[in-house]
Each structure stands twice: as C-alpha cells, then as structure tokens.
Chains A and B, each alone.
Chain A
C-alpha cells in the first residue's frame, strides 16, 4: 500500500488570530432553502418550513439579480465607523429608498409558485398595500417593536429587508466594520442574533459565532458566555432528551435568557434560521422552565398574549 505524503501548504493552517467576523456568503439563501426543505420532512410545522424554503429561493433570486438599494453609502459608513457604530444600521435612519420595490418583486416571485390558497390571497392583497404602511411595518421590524405588526405580512417584509442588508453586508470587508466593541448585537447592522453556531473547518474550528437575524453576518463570542448579559457564571445547556447533541439552548441563570447553540460538527448542513424554526419544541419547553428567548427569528413573529 502506498501512502501519499502531504507537502507543506497542503494542510490548511489554522488562522493565526481568531477570525472575529464572518461576512455573509452570497449563496446564503440558497443553502437556507435547501436546509428548510430537508427539515420540512417529518417536522410538525413542515408545511410552514416548506413555504419558507420557497421564500428563501425567492430571496436568492432577488439577491442574484442585483441592483438592490444600498443601506448606507461610503460616506455614511465612514462616519458610522468613526463613531464606533454599525456601518449598516438597521435602526435610526430611514429605510433604503426603493426597498418596497424589492418587497414587491419578492411577492411576484412567490406568486408564481404553487402556494396554499389562503396564502396566495394574502400575497395578492399585500401587493396592493401602500408604501407608507409598508415602511411603518419595516421600521417596527427593524427596531424589534413587534407589538404593532401585521403578523401575516411581517415575515415577508422582513425577507425583503434581509436580502437588502445581506447583499450589502456581503460587499464589506472586516476592516470597514472595524473592531467589535460589544458583542450582544450585530457589529454590521445592530440587530439581534437569531442563534449561535459552533463552527467546523480549519480556520474557525470550535469557535462560536452569533448569527445576525437580519444581515446574516456572524461574529465571534467566546464559548460558555451569556450572549445577552455577558455572564460566565451559571451557564448551562439544555436539549431535548435523546437528541443528537446538535441543538442546545445556552441558558443563563443570571439574566434568565437563552440563545440556541448549534453544533455544526453534528449537523454540517445546518442553517441558523432554518434549524431554529425547526426546533420550536425546544423553545416551548424552555418557556415552561421560565427562560426568555434573547434571539430573534424574522421568519416567525409571535402573537401578543
């Protein structure tokens, strides 16, 4: 048996410093759609996941078509960077001009696909909604004010916003984002994370990243630390008994919040947004134990009790 001897440079080297920022890949919605489809089979909310796969497909085709409105131009980013603020802020500024056009093309794309009747009717009605109303809804979504939302429209509006923010985030360089001063919110857009992922791969193996709910940027946070209050005491991990160990909730006994943590080692194809929704049962069980969720998933908006 002959064995091949690896030459210098053939083995991927670990990074000399921890990569603090992982900007979104341009095919992020493509892999999300595939993951939604894979998870839909056998899931109790499989029909919803199947629809969200179609939404992710539409997001990907709009992202690829290009010519999307910009969240912030170079001068604004420069100014934000000097002030230590996120370069593509989700809050505080007006929505990117023409964003409703992106929303409408997303609806058009979806309306060409096979959808349940009730949903088709909703999409048709949304097509004719006024720009001012849409803009108000978008402002509420971006500011995490979920009380005054049209819940049936919100995930679709958020889907359009995700495309716009993700597309521009993908064009940034880590140097433009600057040092990460606080890690509980996204350093690129200031939004909540959806979940965190312990990654695999030579460069990032074992590092834990928080995944942005809006722009799909990932930023590093050391393991075993509450992503909300930064406590390192009283952290434990809860998962569904008999699970594969791929999904655990990182629960903080100090602030009583949790964020899901996915282990890519156990589920290489995982997508934080899709896997988060497919594990809704874990959220419900944690609520029963008195933990509040600190992550946001823009594809599911809760009703107010």
Chain B
C-alpha cells in the first residue's frame, strides 16, 4: 500500500448535523433519518482475459455478492476492458456473448470420456480422468520414445503425441507447461495464446 498526501474525511451523522449545510440554515434531519431505510449492496468488477482466441482481449466482469461464504456470487455483466491496450473496451461478437457462455446450461462442468469404439460419453471423476490421461500418455511414450537417432546421437523425442495449451494462461503457467511438455520430449506443441 502506497501512502499518499490524500487525507480522509469522515462523513457521519454528527458531522453532518454540525456541517456547513446545517450552519447555513438547512436542515439535515430528514437526510439523516432517511439513512435507516436503506441498505447497501456489494458488487465487484474483475479484470480477466477473454478465453476464446489468441488476440487476448481484456474484459471486465461485473458480479453481485460480497464473496462471503453463505452468499453465492453471480456474474451479471461482461464487457471489454476500456483500459486494455489490445481491445480498448471493444469485443467481437463471440466475446460479447461471454455472459451466456458463463451461464450456459450446456456447459461442461466435469470430466467425460468416450472410449475407443464407444458411442456414449460417460461421466468420470477427476482422479479417474487424471489417472487415465497419465496412463495413456505413459503407454504411448514407452512404446514410441526415441532415445537415440540412427547415427547414435542421444535425443529426447516423443513424436506420437502432441500438446495444445489454452489461451488466457499466465506467463507462469506458460513456463510450467513448456517445461513439462518439452521435458517429456514432445515436439508437436502449440499454444492458442501464441501472441
């Protein structure tokens, strides 16, 4: 927190009762009494990045609720972030529809799998999903990993699996993704947020 030359002014009932307004002959009584009839609501404006494409537009998400445990926050509006250097407050039609995407009843909220030859998607747990991905990756890598080229050069190559990472990732998650993927030997590697 940076301390500035700004000073604070308390606006309270006692202060208003003895304020310039009262001393000039106007009555603050009604204004003070009125306060009892009102409540405050809380909302937030949160900066984020549009998840769709590699342009990486800045967005402002408006939500209701005070983030306390017994109140469920709800995003009520999304617009382009006017201060963002990429899009300056604008959004494309897909970005402008983000609110519906957030609240879509068809949104996938859990892992599903359609096994080879199967016709149906079936719901699985997160642990099961991670285990399955890990196992399949390891099987494929064990079967196809290239440790040496034909002329005897030591390499780290796993050419039968590729990796596509998401847009709207932070620098840090980009760094970690890169470390993991390259260490495994994958060369087919792309990132949607390749801007």
Contacts and interface: CB of A to CB of B under 8 A. Distances in A.
A284 B32 contact: yes
Given A207-B82, A241-B38, A184 B6 contact: yes
A239 B62 CA distance: 14
Contacts, number: 168
Interface stretch (A66-74, A75-83, A160-168, A224-232): A224-232
Contact of A283 (B11, B24, B42, B47): B11
A185 B88 contact: no
Interface residues of A, number: 65
Nearest to A117: B25
A interface majority secondary structure: loop
Interface string B25-48: 111101110110011111111110
Contacts of A206: 79-80, 82, 89
A14 interface: yes
B184 interface: no
B176 interface: no
Contacts of A244: none
Contact of B19 (A222, A229, A301): A301
A166 B25 CA distance: 28
Contact of A280 (B3, B11, B82): B11
Interface residues of B, number: 52
Interface string B1-27: 111111111111111111111111111
A143 to B, nearest CB: 10
B83 interface: yes
Contacts of B31: 44-45, 280-281, 284
A10 B129 CA distance: 56
Contact of B24 (A122, A146, A286): A122
A96 interface: no
Given A14-B88, A44-B31, A192 B6 contact: yes
Nearest to A255: B1
A184 B23 CA distance: 31
A236 B44 contact: yes
A237 B16 contact: no
Interface in A187-218: 192, 205-207
Contact of B4 (A151, A228, A293): A228
Given A254-B1, A287-B10, 11 more contacts: A18-B83, A48-B24, A144-B7, A185-B4, A207-B82, A232-B47, A236-B42, A237-B42, A284-B31, A293-B8, A299-B20
